[in-house]
Structure 1
């Protein structure tokens, strides 16, 4: 759900605004907000699942793994022009789904040609992680994979089923824990509003409980924005789905945060889609953040104008 261009260009950042335009990107390029200063190396086009009803990012794009020559050329380009960037993100809706040998080959090229890169990140669904053995996950860690971004979206299994997310909460918990056990950092994305008005409270509470069990180092809470090319938007138009308003989204955020306990991590709600930007260090900052949300709910804290909310 992060911002992207749809004409093949990458997201603009301080470092790669012009450099990545010259790299051989195809289709939609999406990256997590905190990878904004990273080298964006596209290793796959589209998403291997591409059935979630809320996501229109890759609609019309057939998933495929990019050929070796193109990826190698882009790594060589980064070696010449991206020497001030210490992190690299493997672009693709679910890059971890690539065969193990191909991932190791790519990581080996990165280590050989970009020795200054200290961390490689990628999106990894529970399905993709489940295709790797424990030893294979550790091999990826040893080869430089430092963080995996996993979409939970909701801890409510009914909501997950309705939006056609692959797997249930137990499967996502299990695979997320395997990422951590392999020694990689885990960042989990959740979507405020995904359960609609009908399951708003259930969705928020269950998601906080699942996050607590996963205990990731990072949580990214985004606010659902309906995209016209998605089945969920069509459901909304028919009146089969009711999107919570700003107050409803804030109430969900409060419930979700209240139900989330992390050993030590960041709970971020500072994405462009959110009404109230928050950056909460857990567990120490929870109470102050809850009080800030309460002020916002009472009308004493400004919310982002709809004109400035974005994917």
Structure 2
């Protein structure tokens, strides 16, 4: 075991972490700060303590990339329990309803599939009341834990896929009838999987909540490539991703000369061949040393910097 911090490159890095159950996203950030020897660490989308799976972290100047990673689509594996509802829409919350036996029996596989289809595509979803969304300056989950009834307004989200396994009919630990279903969900950012379970159960008239949630992908990044939290806590070498490698996976690449790299870094606008570099909302501008100079917009051959990526010793800019 070693507690020596990993060497953080001058432009920082992106780190993929497979969060264990019971850890908060803040716990992961705190351990990463120690492991990387820098205070400047952030993440591109939180996970509840009950949830496991992929957290995308940025360290040093690479935290500037996180703004452009937050909006990526995400993939989850989950287990939904139909037949009871909880205040948190997951197994950690107090139970607020239990369905009658006949209601659970009426939730046939065909009805469940049809209802899931109604929750697929572009939908309006009310986030779970136990969420980090602020209501009059206070987190919704704090208001719920204080005993308030919180109802958040619906917002548009996209569920690209809501794939269900075979329903398993049985009894919970109180002897009440339940249906457990494993599911894979691919969705836009801002989608609450707990709310999806709640809405599926409500539409079937039986209530629903999550008993397991695991995030497996964020955009092109997969949890199989992530370091687990135990290894993170031990410190030492970590599989760091260079910001150039990350940016060029997400955006088209524009190679710059040394002079162009300096000019762009100094805030000057560049002229490029519009036939070679098509217009785009974001393009990764890369210097001759494979350094990420910035994320830029290109319009009619003119390059404008959106986010610059400076180089500083120790990655602590």
TM-score between the two structures when normalised by the length of structure 2: 0.26
Higher helix proportion: 1
Q: Rg larger in 1 or in 2?
A: 2
More strand by share: 2
**Higher RCO (CA < 8 A, seq sep 6+):** 2
